[in-house]
Each structure stands twice: as structure tokens, then as C-alpha cells.
Chains A and B, each alone.
Chain A
Amino acid sequence: MSQTYRLAEKGRLDRSQKLTFTYDGQSYTGYRGDTLASALLANGVKLVGRSFKYHRPRGIMSAGSEEPNALVQLEEGARTEPNTRATVVDLYDGLTAASQNCWPSVKFDLQSVNQKIAKFFPAGFYYKTFMFPASWWTPVYEKIIRRAAGLGKSPMERDPDSYAQKFAFCDVLVVGGGPAGIAAALAAGRTGARVILADEQSEMGGALLSDDALIDGQPALDWVAKSLAELDRLEDVTVLPRTTVSGYYDYNYLTALERVTDHLGPQADDRIPRQRFWKIRAKKVVLAQGAIERPLVFADNDRPGIMLAAALRTYINRYGVMPGRQVVVFTNNDSAYKTAIDAHTAGASVDIVDLRENPTGPLVKQAEALMIRIHKGCAVVSTSGKHAVTGCEIAKLSADGKSLVSDTTYIGCDILANSNGWNPSVHLWSQARGKLTWDTEKNCFIPGHAGPWLPVAAGSGTGAYDLGDCLSQGFAQGAAAAKDAGFGSGEVPKTPATAPLVEGPDRMVWTIPGKKPLGHGKAKHFHDHQNDVVASDIHLAAREGYLSVEHLKRYTTTGMGTDQGKTSNVNALAIMAEIRNAAIPEVGTTTFRPPYTPITFGAVTGQNRNHLFIQERTSAMHPAHVENGAVFEDVGDWKRPWYFPKTSKSGATETMDEAVLRECRQVRETVGMLDASTLGKIDIQGKDAAEFLNWIYTNKWDNLKPGRARYGLMLNEHGMVFDDGVTTRLADDHFHMTTTTGGAARVLGWLENWSQTEWPQMEVYMTSVTEQWAVCTITGPNARALLADVTSMPLDPETFPFMAMQEGTVAGAPARVYRISFTGDLAYEINVPARYGLHVWRALQEAGKTHGLCLYGTETMHVLRAEKGFIIVGQDTDGTVTPMDLDMDWIVSKKKDDFLGRRSFYRTDTKREGRKQLVGLLTENPNFVLPEGAHVVEDVKPKPPMKTLGHVTSSYFSPNVGRSIALALVADGINRKGDTLSVPLMNGHVEKVTLTDTVFFDKEGVRSNG
């Protein structure tokens, strides 16, 4: 096929660049500058899809982002994209697209049977039909609905494209690059302000691209070109075509989607991001997004070939396509006459059907002078044609617009352009919490009271359709916005000369009567083309009591498609207003929500995917862990060695259980080494540091000697444990605190909070030093001998006792060595500045060869500490556990009058009996390892519910104890020690457990001496 409907000469196309594309398997050609829609129309393709609910044939209705019908599946494979509007897809060579929502083909669609049984598909059909039983929802109904109502298909492969984000700042953001927007950008840009001008179209100019207007006696597009050249010269002005401002958030934070390479297709340089998601913080925002034409709601107004009047004009003038030979223009206003005149000039046979009895504007006179047939006071009352419109019937309307007062006349046509007036694009205004006002003269919502961020509006988005008004508003608002942002004097550039727009009044008939009363017969009056909602659905909703606009929307699905009702919402509101005999603003508007048009997940994600999705934090020793074959565990966002499986000479690698058993045994037999760098560390200095710790911890700190360490529990004001760790006094006024890995940031925040807001008079400063220090923990009977090989520090227990700290060198590097233990065995935590971490780890590993050193990970650490009954905050506690619940009264000072959380100990609930308390559990079967989280009960019933007494918090097989061990929080557990309770499991097994002390290994605590 060879672009049969292409006009010679006309249009903003580069005809030297012929592009080949494929639609539904058929090859076509178009030109650079086409959209997929204009290229399809040029080739005579009108039927492009099937509708959502009834599977009716649908064509191209608009020439912009408001398109409800022409949704296509763009490209195939990994790059396929569903629900793409053919009207905004720039044509590129090799483009492949297919119609969607049809099977087996768009011309013969089996589900079009839906329209034959349409009377069974009224509004609320899904709610009423797929209701009971509720258990059928997921397995049965959802599948039926999804198959029947799906739009396009999601890609199933990884997206091969890259995406970017950009955080931008500007003084003035201008949304919309039509005459008002360009004028605003010029006025603001000339002041030196930072200006961003964004428009969703591939080129700036807005409505002027489809028009033949003059500015200062020259073609308006010359003024556009001249203005863009000036903006280009202004260093701080950024002009963004193909960029849709999609959301307007608090404090003038707006998001915009720039389609960087979409117009080049998959051949684009893959280093360039396909799309860029802008996050713009603007001082002032000028909204100049223009207006969207409203369709008329008449019988069978959805056949392919029926389109908006201004869209037809765009296809003729901007894309050089006259998509039919016989055109009917059906209108309630003067603006559609321009379409009729341009179609006539382009060689089509044109009939105008005007709802008005006596239209009088100059455009009407002009059409009459061209001898275009005008049917006044008439309406289109039916249309015909199977896969595209072939004709329509018109008739005279009664004065109230509710009935026909003449016989019908048939007019053959292959294009039916229609206009019901215009809706200013108020979406962003409304997103910014601005109010809308109904303009009774122009019959549309216009921006009213502005929201807190005080955007301003200019151009046809305010209901000003005169070009001179658009320009002067743009200049004025641009200059004012720049001044508000601190640039320029507010002086408004002079508006160039334009011809004034003179138009007669509109006639509003919100539902055009058909040949039969609404809802009778087969004819359908669509107001929402995308979601297949018809005028009679609104009547049904009203009859069933869904009168409020929010109910109407949800009940009928009006405006809930991907087009968000850009062409349908106001018609629906007006029809409901008529039914309720109310004014349109009384019915209200639905909430406009971002995004203005659909945006890809890729753009929202930007670079934050794969290895950049979340940071993977590693310690200074990480390269050694990788070399040593560690398997890593995610601890928060840290990658910590979980265990170090060994591979035998035969190539068999240990399982996790095997590796952990070996590591657990070897630590207690010889010596093990753990990377403990991730523990939180806080340097605390000041003369009140000890006093501060007295407030923060439950025990006393002023009596700790320099060089000595102490374990502490931190409570919140509810008296509940929220972190623990060992803190060392380095000097009288200097402490080194450690926290849990996960609690590092939380604890620092907690200390800063109290220091800054409640006790600013205390002389104490906190500084996080978590990653300053790399920490190698060595523990086990041989730990002292190993350390002696790499340090000259005195290690004898008298000079370097348990809970003490020494400074010196280890393996030649400066170190602080803390003799503290989380395993119960002799242990040293060797802290070195992180730059030495890898060296010291490797040196210890080397020296350890003669001491039976084994590397161990977090799993073995967990088993070893559980053998000793040491808690892990967040695992054995859950925010409801006091020190007394942990049987740790010994750490609560009786001498201090107050510390954080203390008062809550005396609350009724905290001191009551029967609270859950931490105990040990021994299973009847010593080899059975309880699942963590399992419930502990007294009376086992055949099935839940059973009264639960608590749950298992930690559970392991301990090779050193020679059996399984567990910790649990059990009601009144401390008093119940020795009792036997039960743990019933999901699989029906019931394990008997005996409550014990929490210390399973080395109950006398002698091993920490080595």
C-alpha cells in the first residue's frame, strides 16, 4: 500500500526520509515526522483495535495523548510495550506494532460476541455477577475477568533498555510548549531566570502546529522558530520536547517523563537512556497545557473513522493526511468549522451538522461562502459501517434537545469529525490542590483558587482560545513568575499582533438523542470509549443510587482507564447533572491523580536496579571472605560471611549444616575467627559522658575504670530492651560504645536525640565510628597463643584480664584489642583502622595455621552464643521484653534514682505476673531442632486454636552440647523451669519440651579465662 490518503506538499514531515513499518503483520510506509496514527491513516488503516468490554471495532479518535481508543502493542519480545497510544508514537524505521484486545484478529474477533449480549453487560456487571461465593474470587472469577478484559500484554523478558533520573531545579517551570508556554518561557528566560520549558509533543508549538494562524503578519510557526532560537541562546533555559510533566506534588515538586530515544526505536545508541525521569523542584510553575476537545455523545459514536474535529485538522495540516473522501463535521460550536474548511480545501466532500439553529460566527460565513453544506439545528442520530463508518443519519432536534422533530436523512461519509467544545487541561492545577471553577459561558472547568504552591495558568488551559490572549497571558505570567522567583522587574514583553478570534455561542446537548430512547435498541452512546461506558450506564448508576461522582466513577468505571477520562469525564458529569437536575459543579469533579499519562516502570526505577537496587555493604575484609569461599548472609544491607564451606579433595563441598557443625566444634576446641566489623561503634567524649551513660543504660557507669569494659542494656521509655552491647572506658571522659549491627544508626539517633533535646547542658559528644574500625574477633582456647604470635602486648590474664582493653600493634598495625566474648570462650576483638583490616585478617589467618584456626560466620556465632544463653536483641526480644523478662535483674541498677525506661517497670502491666519470660527449652528427642517461631502450649488440641504460652525465639543443633537447644519466651517461664510443655507443629508432630535455664554450655563460666 502506498499512502493513498497522503496529501501532496502539506504537513511538517521530512518526505526525504521514508520509513517502513509493520502493523498487524502488514508492511507500510510513512515519513519522518509521522506518528504511528498519522501513518496508519495515510495508508487507509482505520480499524486499529477492539474495545475493552464489548470488543467493538475502534479507530483513531484523537491526535494526542488523550487518545482513548487506538491502543497498540508496540514492538515484540523484550521491548514490547502494551497500551501504547498510536497517536503519540513517533514513527521510526522498522517499527512493529499490533492491535491488541482481539483474537484471532482485529477484523474477526470472537469476543465481539460481547456486543451481541451487551444488555447483559451493564454498569456494575462485574460487581453483580462475580460476587458469591467469596472463595471463588481468586481461583475462578479473577481468571475469567482477566482473560476477557485484559488490554495489552506485559513483556515477559528483562527490559534491555537503560533509564535515567534527573533531579533538576529551576526558577520557572513552564508546562506546555504552545504559544502561551513559549511566551512565558521567553518572558521568564530573558530575565536570566533558570527556566525549563517542557512539552509532550515531539516539537514545540502546540496548537499552532496544526493551524494557519499569523503572528505579526507572518506564519505563526516562524514566530515559534524564532522564539525557540532565542530560548536556545539563553544559557539557563532548558527546552524539553517529548517530555510529559506527569505529576505535581508538594512545594512545586514536579515529575516529568522525557522520552529520549523512543522516537528512534530500538536502533538507538544503547548507552543513551531510553527515557529520563525528571524530578523538578521549581520556584514558580506556569501551567500552559492547552485544552482537550470534548466529543459529542451520540448513537454509535465509536466506529472507526469517527474522530475529534481538531484531530482531523491536525492530521490534515500537521501530518498531510486527509484520511477520507466524504467528511461529516458534527458540532455544537464554531471551532469545528476550521476543520470543515480545511477538509474542504484538502479536496474532501464536506457536510456540517450543527446543533445550533442559527450559527452566526465569521467561520460559519466563511464555510457558507465556500459552499459547504450546513445542516443547522440538526444532529447525527445514528451511524453505520461494520469496520469503519460508512454513513450517518441526521435529523432536526427539538428546542430542548431531547427529541427528534424531523425524519432522518442519510449522509454517506468515511470520516465523521465531531466537537462538543473544549476542556482546558486542568489536571496539574488540580493535582496541586487548586480549585476548579465552572465557566458557564464557555461550558468548561477552568482553574479557580490556586493551591498552596501558587501555580499560575496561561493560554487555552484557562479557557482563553484567542491566540492574542494566549500570547499576552503567557508573557504576563512568565514575567510575573520570574519576578516572584527573584528575576526581572516583572515588565511584560509586548504581545505581537494577531487576528482576533470571533466565535458565536455553543449549544450544549450533553446526550444527543438517537432514533430510539436511550438504552433501548442496539445503539450505544459512548462517553468513555476506553472503558466502554455508555450514557445509559450513568442513568442506571443514578437509578441504583450511585449519584456522587466518586460512586459514579467506581460503579461505571468511567474515567478509570489509562486515559484517566481526558475525553470522557466532563461529559459524564454533565449527563449526571442533567439526571439529577443539578448544576455541573454541584456534581463535582473526581480527583485528578498523577501520572497525567502512563509512565514506564523503567523510568520510575531509573538506575536503581540490578546491583544498584540496594547497596550491598561490605567490610574491609570482604576480599578475603570471597577468596575463602564464604557463603554470605544479608544482615540489614550488609553482606556478612554466613559460613565457610570446605571443599574436599574429591570436590565435594560441605552443606551448611556440615560446615556449621565443624566451625562450632573447632572454635571451642582450638580457635575461630569472625569478622565483627559491622557492629555499631560510637565514640563518646565529654566530662559528663559517664553520667550520660548512667541515663542511657540500666546499670552504673561512673564506677567503671579506664581501660575496662562493661555490658549494657538499653531500654526505651516503655521499659523494653531495644539494644545491647559492650562499652569500654578509654579515659575518664572518653568511652567506646558498641551496638548491634542492625541498631547502629538507631542507637546513635537515640543518643543524639536525648543529648540535643532533653539534656543539652550535659557536656557529651557522640561520633559514629562504625566503619573506622575493622574488627577481627578471635575466640577459643588457642586465641591467646594465636594473638601472642602477632603482637607484643602482654596477654597474661593478670595484665590483660577479661573485660579489659589494650592499645598496641597487631600484625604490625595500630590496634585496640578488647578482651570481651560473645561465645563464652576466651576471646579478643581486635580493632584496627579499616585500611589495615585486610592485612591484619590475612596475617591472623596465616598465623592461625599452627593454632588450628578456623574461619566462622554468623550462623556459628549464633549457635555459640545460644549455647551460653546470650540474647540477640530483635531475635530473643521483640520490643515487649523487659530486663526482668530476660531474667537479667542483675543488670538493673538499684542505686540509680532514674534512667531511661525505669519508671515503666512500675506500671501495672510491666510488673504483673505471668509475663512472657526467656527460658531454655530442651526437646524430648535430643536430635529434633524446633522451628523458630513455633508456639509453646500446655494443652495440645487436635487443631488450632490452642492457648499459646509463648514461642521459640532461637533454636539450633549444638555439637558442643551434643543435642538441640532452644530459647523461648514463655508465660511465667522462670517459675515453670523444670515443667514439660508441648510444641505442636504444622505437620501434626508434637514435640515435648522441658523448660530449663538459658545457659546450656560451661554453666560455671570458666572458659572465658582461656
Chain B
Amino acid sequence: MFLVKCPWCGWRDQTEFSYGGEAHIARPLEPGQISDAEWGDYIYTRRNTKGVHAERWSHTQGCGRWFNALRHTVTDVMWDSYKMGEDAPTPPKDWDGMTCCDDHKKLAEGAKK
């Protein structure tokens, strides 16, 4: 039972959310102009990432809004979430899925002090 970070409501119990699959799959603008294979890719083909995965979540029981998030599929740790239309945040290159962005912020603050 992990926690999901709603960009508005903050970290909340997973049971309040619905999962919406891989993020950033845009609907083809002119479906009539593309091949069956391209349309099939849009409908069916999804990454099965081991590691950092951009995915869609909806805070169904809370504010009801869709957003995107980066989750590490090995540890289920969510790095951060971001609103629809925003660019994905960038976790450190060597992110091992053991900490989230808020942990890193805290560490950085600690280092400043």
C-alpha cells in the first residue's frame, strides 16, 4: 500500500487514487492519415520499464484530477508528480528508487545548514 503524491493534495494513501497507465501517449492528430500499425501502437504498445516510469494517476477520491508521476518500478517509490502539460521532473541519473524528491530536498537543506 504505497503513497502517491497528488500535485495539489500532497502524499496520500494509494487507495484514494486510480492508475491510468503510461503517460505521454498523445492521441494521433489525424488518425485517418496513419497506418494500422501506427494506430495499433497508439492503442496497444506500451513500455514495460524496469526503473523510472512516467505514468498517469487520478486522485479519484480526493480532488478528482489527473496528473503524471515518475515511479521507480523496482521499489514503487514515486520520485515526484507533475501536472498535465508540465514537463517531467528529472531525478538524478543514478536514482536507485530508494528516495523521493522530498527526501532529496531535505538532504540538500541539511547540507546547506
Contact = CB atoms under 8 A, between A and B. Distances in A.
A880 B44 CA distance: 15
Nearest to A900: B27
B64 interface: yes
A135 interface: no
Nearest to B96: A452
Contact of A758 (B1, B18, B27, B65): B27
A717 B75 CA distance: 32
Contacts of A758: 26-27
Contact of A897 (B26, B32, B58, B66): B32
B3 A251 contact: yes
Interface stretch (A552-560, A656-664, A749-757): A749-757
A256 to B, nearest CB: 14
B66 A752 contact: yes
Interface string B1-41: 11100000000010000101000001110011010100110
A452 B98 CA distance: 4
Contact of A756 (B34, B39, B84): B84
B108 interface: no
Contacts of A451: 98
Interface in A914-939: none
B53 interface: no
A559 B82 CA distance: 45
Contacts of B39: 903-904, 907
A902 B27 CA distance: 13
A433 interface: yes
Contacts of A897: 32
A616 interface: no
B66 A718 contact: no
A773 B112 CA distance: 58
Nearest to A167: B13
B36 A908 contact: yes
B113 to A, nearest CB: 12
B20 A753 contact: yes
Given A752-B66, A753-B66, A452 B99 contact: yes
Interface string A896-910: 011000111011100
A253 B3 CA distance: 9
A249 interface: yes
A253 B14 CA distance: 11
Given A752-B66, A907-B40, A757 B56 contact: yes
A586 to B, nearest CB: 24
B77 A253 contact: no
A758 B18 CA distance: 17
A250 interface: yes
A385 interface: no
B91 interface: no
B76 interface: yes
Interface string A754-785: 00111010000000000000000000000000
Nearest to B34: A903
B1 A907 contact: no
A749 to B, nearest CB: 7
Contacts of B3: 250-251, 281
B51 interface: no
Contact of B85 (A251, A753, A760): A760
Contact of A752 (B1, B31, B64, B76): B64
A717 B43 contact: yes
Contact of B65 (A717, A756, A903): A756
Interface string A338-382: 000000000000000000000000000000000000000000000
A729 B66 CA distance: 27
Given A251-B2, A757-B66, A904 B43 contact: yes
Nearest to A753: B66
A898 B65 contact: no
In this complex, the member of A249, A454, A756 whose beta carbon has the largest number of chain B beta carbons within 10 angstroms is A756
Nearest to B85: A760
Nearest to A768: B64
Interface in A737-751: 749
A251 B42 CA distance: 33
Contacts of B75: 433, 452
Given A756-B65, A898-B32, A718 B97 contact: no
A250 B66 contact: no
Interface residues of B, number: 31
A17 to B, nearest CB: 42
Contacts of B18: 749
Interface string A869-903: 00000000000000000000000000001100011
Contacts of B84: 756-757, 760
B19 to A, nearest CB: 12
Interface in A611-670: none
Contacts of A249: 1
Nearest to B103: A454
Nearest to A279: B1
Nearest to B44: A718
Nearest to B26: A758
B58 A749 contact: yes
Contacts of A749: 18, 58, 60
A903 B32 contact: yes
Given A250-B1, A756-B65, A758-B27, A718 B32 contact: no
Contact of B2 (A250, A752, A753): A250
Contacts of A433: 75
Contacts of B20: 753
Interface in B59-113: 60, 64-66, 75-77, 84-85, 97-99
B31 A902 contact: yes
A249 B75 CA distance: 11
A281 B43 CA distance: 38
Nearest to A748: B64
Contact of B1 (A253, A454, A718, A908): A253
Contacts of B31: 898, 902-903
Contacts of A907: 36, 39-40
Contacts of A281: 3, 13
A236 to B, nearest CB: 20
B59 to A, nearest CB: 11
Contacts of B32: 897-898, 903
Contacts of B36: 906-908
A451 B34 CA distance: 47
A304 to B, nearest CB: 43
A758 to B, nearest CB: 6
B23 to A, nearest CB: 9
B56 to A, nearest CB: 7
A251 B1 contact: yes
Contacts of A752: 58, 64, 66
Interface in A151-172: none
Contacts of B66: 752-753, 756-757
Contacts of A908: 36
Contacts of A903: 28, 31-32, 34, 39
B43 A718 contact: yes
Nearest to A898: B31
A683 to B, nearest CB: 15
Contacts of B76: 250
Contacts of A904: 39, 43
A452 B40 contact: no
A452 B77 contact: yes
9 contacts: A249-B1, A250-B2, A717-B43, A718-B43, A752-B64, A753-B66, A756-B84, A758-B26, A758-B27
Interface of B: 1-3, 13, 18, 20, 26-28, 31-32, 34, 36, 39-40, 42-43, 56, 58, 60, 64-66, 75-77, 84-85, 97-99
Given A250-B1, A717-B27, A752-B64, 20 more contacts: A250-B2, A250-B76, A253-B1, A452-B75, A452-B98, A718-B43, A749-B60, A752-B58, A753-B20, A753-B58, A756-B65, A757-B66, A758-B26, A758-B27, A760-B84, A903-B31, A903-B32, A904-B43, A907-B36, A907-B40
Please list the 5 inter-chain residue pairs (A to B) with the smallest Cβ-Cβ separation, ordered nearest first.
Answer: A903-B31, A250-B2, A452-B98, A251-B3, A756-B66
